[in-house]
């Protein structure tokens, strides 16, 4: 072994010897993440391989190492050449070496767009206000995001008790951020910047220069703030899902996105700091998903969960196509987004006072009666516009001034080149008054247009307006400022953008896990933001955003509340409590639908809409053991040697089955059930074990909801709970009796009169989606 190390170091040395080590040259190399698995080996040997590799690298290549990880897991991030990376990947202690990926925030609009956006904000998130909010005072939610604006009233520590003794973290000083920026609510803050990086003012501080981190932190654990609103719109009490919990912010994102190496450092610190819950509203984009050993979130989350920390992540905004969900590892709680019962309406008034319901948020101050000439973009194209489609979509430069001056322009939005406000800014420079944007998604999920008279309308209404324009000599219109329609029905509804299952890696694990409010969520915002400002007004202190980014912290807040009530529960018990108590009906008492009107399936919403009270007393929970996760790794192709490095402790008799098939994944003790590759007239069995968390003597009975063509048998179908019951195992047999080609959905609910413990199931007929 010793000989191997010497020759290894020699070869590294030779590679390095030929290279200069000054920083400019370092940076011309890429950043690579070297992942070495658990910080203690399963045989409880000290991991000398890590120290040796790291110190030899640092010795030979000064300043190459950017971050080192040693608390929750072992590894480091360093500037390496491709050859060096390859060479290190061959070393005995190394699990994987991969280029540092840049992940994105899961808001519906890009970072650039956020910069362009003109303000908005509002108040409470109805779904998180239902009376069940407990103290959560000893629970710490760690958030990996863009930083925090500590002065927000949502982070006031009035009436909060002393900082929990488990807290070992710190409040890092930085630009415009001192230890006094933290308090008994915001108990810690850290930031991670690449050395020498210039991040246009966003570096060198935990302070939030974007707004996203402040928004999600207040949604997870902001205290109740009365009278919060976006310039009076949607006024109410803003509060987080677990107002008593403490917040620790780890700024892992810069203006360029969220670097994987920084995310891993955030996990590594958070694990050592003593957080209970980790909330990540970010991830890979669709098509960029990676398997475990090269996915920083999956790696960090695995080690956090091993240490008892529940990890909640957004599932992505790349719906409505299937297999778009990200952050789908079985140890992560993956969150989809739904609407709340509130619509932002910006009505359009046509000649004859005909009203069309528009969407989006604007504070325009133009005449309320329809006095402005209305034209359709395609009828006004300049000779410069190359194609009719450019004018129809109101691409900047398509018009001459006299064509749009003083008018409201009707535009399509099919170009994917410009954001609505970019189009309007260009029209406005040419003298246009307002813009109507034909786009179903913009109508369904309100964007913020600030003082600009812009309204989004559906395609159906767009056609009506076009025929109105055709029907009259002098078409006219106006756009009214936004009003909030409360108690909107139906809600919740799954918006287009929410990423969908099944999981891209296997059909034997249901993802996403759960859905939560993620459309037009009002939460805290940086206090001197400029992009959110409507002209003539001060910065908004609360702002409206949409995305699975906003859904994630709702669930993190619920998880923290459960944790504070049941401090000894494992991450998987908390996840189970959240999944098995989820809700499947909307405010019309009908099944939750997607925005196309069809019934939402578990591929859209997982177990359903998160309940804020149900998870506190679930009756029974499914505990997924670390061994279940390791079996999943076997299935995804990891050798026992690698798994041995990844896991902190491995039972001596642990082994990967010789043929690890997807049925092993179906048999993880997960709170939902997914079966793949079921053939007509064939059956498959899965085993589940429930842990009793309410010891009252009772009998649980299984209720099966299965579609026709599928026989589902639960054995036994009664569970007798006694004072001494701890765990009970049952078996479910799925038998396909029809020749359908569609995946099938249903549920199994255990009920004893007091509790309902529901597991959704999906039965896929095909092979795994790999």
Ligand X SMILES: *[C@@H]1O[C@H](CO)[C@@H](O)[C@H](O)[C@H]1NC(C)=O
Block residue for tokens 């008279």: 453
Give the helix ranges, DSSP H, for 280-400.
296-306, 388-392
CB of 613 to ligand X, least distance (A): 12
Contacts 24+ apart (CB under 8 A), 481-484: 481/346, 481/362, 481/363, 481/364, 481/365, 482/233, 482/344, 482/345, 482/346, 482/360, 482/361, 482/362, 482/363, 482/446, 483/344, 483/345, 483/347, 484/122, 484/233, 484/234, 484/342, 484/343, 484/344, 484/345
Instruction: Pick between residue 109 and residue 265 the one whose CB is nearest to ligand X.
Output: 109
Structure token digits, residue 122:
């509002």
CB of 107 to ligand X, least distance (A): 18
Structure token digits, residue 342:
């509130």
CB of 530 to ligand X, least distance (A): 5
The single residue of 212, 215, 554, 566 carrying the catalytic annotation is: 212
CB of 205 to ligand X, least distance (A): 9
Please say if 145 is a catalytic residue.
yes
CB of 614 to ligand X, least distance (A): 16
Instruction: Pick between residue 240 and residue 296 the one whose CB is nearest to ligand X.
Output: 240
The single residue of 49, 145, 276, 341 carrying the catalytic annotation is: 145
* Concatenated DSSP letters of 406-451: T-EEEEE---SSS-HHHHHHHHHHTT--EEEEE-HHHHHS--BBTT
Please say if 212 is a catalytic residue.
yes
> Angle CA(166)–CA(169)–CA(170) in degrees, nearest 5?
140
CB of 317 to ligand X, least distance (A): 13
Please say if 286 is a catalytic residue.
no
Nearest to 280 by CA among 318, 244, 309, 256: 309
Instruction: Pick between residue 48 and residue 470 the one whose CB is nearest to ligand X.
Output: 470
Strands 408-412, 372-376: parallel, antiparallel or unpaired by DSSP?
parallel
Block residue for tokens 């003597």: 697
Instruction: Pick between residue 39 and residue 152 the one whose CB is nearest to ligand X.
Output: 152
Rule CB under 6 A: which residues touch ligand X?
Answer: 134-135, 176, 320, 440-441, 444, 463, 466-467, 470, 496, 528, 530, 595-596, 651, 653, 680-681
Cβ contact 316:467 at 8 Å: no
Instruction: Pick between residue 44 and residue 528 the one whose CB is nearest to ligand X.
Output: 528
Distances (CA, A) of 145 to 1, 209, 251: 42, 11, 5
Its sign, for the CA torsion 686, 691, 692, 693, is negative
Instruction: Pick between residue 23 and residue 613 the one whose CB is nearest to ligand X.
Output: 613
Nearest to 596 by CA among 493, 463, 442: 493
Its sign, for the CA torsion 569, 574, 576, 582, is positive
CB of 463 to ligand X, least distance (A): 6
Instruction: Pick between residue 25 and residue 321 the one whose CB is nearest to ligand X.
Output: 321
Instruction: Pick between residue 53 and residue 686 the one whose CB is nearest to ligand X.
Output: 686
Instruction: Pick between residue 76 and residue 449 the one whose CB is nearest to ligand X.
Output: 449
CB of 330 to ligand X, least distance (A): 18
> Angle CA(297)–CA(578)–CA(746) in degrees, nearest 5?
100
Kindly report the number of other CB atoms within 10 A of residue 37's CB atom: 28
* Concatenated DSSP letters of 592-648: -EETTSSBPPHHHHTT-BPPSSGGG--SEEEPPPHHHHHHHHHHTT--HHHHHHH-S
Structure token digits, residue 763:
């039965």
CB of 586 to ligand X, least distance (A): 16
The single residue of 451, 549, 581, 672 carrying the catalytic annotation is: 549
Kindly report the number of other CB atoms within 10 A of residue 17's CB atom: 8
* Residues with catalytic roles: 145, 212, 549
């Amino acid at each position: 072994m010793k000989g191997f190390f010497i020759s290894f170091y020699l070869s590294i040395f030779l590679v390095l010897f030929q290279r200069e080590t000054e920083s400019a040259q370092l940076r011309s190399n890429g950043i690579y993440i070297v992942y070495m698995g658990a910080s203690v080996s399963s045989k409880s040997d000290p991991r000398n391989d890590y120290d040796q590799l790291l110190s030899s690298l640092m010795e030979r290549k000064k300043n190459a190492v950017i971050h080192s990880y040693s608390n929750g897991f072992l590894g480091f991030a360093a500037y390496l050449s491709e050859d060096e990376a390859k060479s290190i990947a061959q070393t005995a202690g190394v699990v994987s070496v991969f280029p540092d990926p840049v992940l994105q925030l899961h808001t519906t609009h890009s970072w650039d767009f956020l910069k362009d956006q003109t303000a908005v904000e509002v108040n409470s998130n109805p779904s998180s206000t239902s009376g069940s909010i407990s103290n959560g005072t000893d629970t710490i939610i760690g958030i990996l995001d863009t930083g925090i604006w500590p002065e927000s009233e949502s982070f006031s520590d009035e009436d909060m008790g002393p900082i929990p003794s488990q807290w070992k973290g710190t409040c890092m000083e930085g630009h415009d951020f001192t230890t006094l920026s933290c308090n008994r609510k915001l108990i810690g803050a850290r930031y991670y910047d690449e050395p020498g990086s210039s991040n246009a003012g966003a570096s060198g501080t935990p302070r939030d220069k974007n707004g996203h981190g402040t928004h999600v932190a207040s949604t997870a654990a902001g205290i109740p703030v009365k009278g919060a609103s976006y310039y009076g719109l949607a006024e109410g009490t803003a509060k987080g899902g677990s107002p008593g919990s403490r917040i620790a912010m780890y700024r892992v994102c810069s203006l360029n996105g969220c670097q994987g190496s920084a995310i891993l450092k955030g996990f590594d610190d958070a694990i050592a700091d003593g957080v209970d819950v980790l909330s990540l509203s970010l991830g890979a984009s669709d098509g960029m998903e990676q398997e475990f050993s090269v996915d920083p979130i999956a790696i960090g989350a695995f080690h956090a969960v091993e240490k008892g920390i529940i990890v909640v992540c957004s599932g992505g905004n790349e719906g409505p196509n299937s297999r778009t969900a990200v952050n789908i590892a079985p140890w992560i709680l993956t969150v989809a987004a739904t609407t709340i019962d509130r619509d932002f309406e910006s009505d359009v008034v046509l000649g004859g006072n005909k009203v069309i319901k528009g969407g989006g948020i604007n504070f325009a101050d133009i005449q309320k009666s329809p006095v402005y000439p209305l034209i359709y973009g395609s009828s006004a194209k300049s000779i410069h516009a190359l194609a009719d489609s450019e004018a129809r979509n109101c691409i900047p430069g398509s018009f001459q001034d006299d064509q749009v001056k003083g008018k409201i322009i009707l535009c399509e939005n099919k170009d994917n080149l410009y954001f609505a406000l970019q189009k309007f800014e260009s029209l406005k420079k040419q003298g246009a008054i307002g813009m109507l944007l034909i786009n179903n998604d913009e109508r369904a999920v309100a964007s913020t247009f600030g003082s600009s008279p812009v309204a989004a309308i559906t395609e159906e209404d767009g056609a009506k307006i076009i025929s109105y324009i055709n029907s009259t000599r002098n078409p006219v219109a106006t756009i009214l400022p936004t009003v909030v329609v409360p108690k909107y029905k139906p809600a919740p509804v799954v918006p287009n953008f929410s990423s969908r299952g099944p999981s891209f890696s296997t059909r034997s694990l249901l993802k996403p896990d759960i859905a939560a409010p993620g459309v037009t969520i009002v939460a805290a915002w940086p206090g001197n933001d400029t992009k959110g400002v409507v002209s003539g007004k001060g910065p908004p202190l609360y702002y409206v955003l949409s995305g699975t980014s906003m859904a994630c912290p709702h669930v993190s807040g619920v998880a923290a509340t459960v944790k504070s009530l049941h401090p000894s529960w494992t991450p998987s018990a908390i996840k189970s409590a959240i999944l098995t108590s989820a809700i499947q009906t909307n405010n019309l008492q009908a099944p939750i639908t997607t925005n196309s009107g069809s019934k939402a399936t578990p591929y859209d919403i997982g177990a359903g809409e998160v309940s804020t009270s149900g998870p506190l007393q679930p009756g029974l929970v499914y505990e997924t053991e670390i061994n279940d996760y390791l079996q999943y790794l076997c299935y995804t192709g990891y050798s026992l040697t690698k798994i041995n490095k990844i896991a902190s402790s491995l039972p001596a008799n642990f082994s990967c089955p010789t043929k690890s098939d997807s049925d092993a994944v179906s048999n993880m003790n997960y709170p939902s059930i997914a079966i793949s590759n079921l053939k007509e007239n064939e059956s498959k069995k899965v085993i589940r074990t429930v842990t009793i968390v309410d010891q009252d003597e009772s009998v649980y009975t299984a209720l099966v909801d299965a579609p026709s063509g599928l026989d589902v048998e639960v054995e036994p179908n009664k569970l007798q709970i006694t004072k001494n019951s701890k765990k009970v195992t049952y078996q479910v047999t799925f038998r396909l009796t029809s020749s359908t080609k569609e995946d099938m959905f249903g549920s199994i609910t255990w009920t004893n009169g007091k509790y309902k413990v529901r597991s959704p199931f999906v039965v896929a007929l095909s092979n795994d989606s790999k």
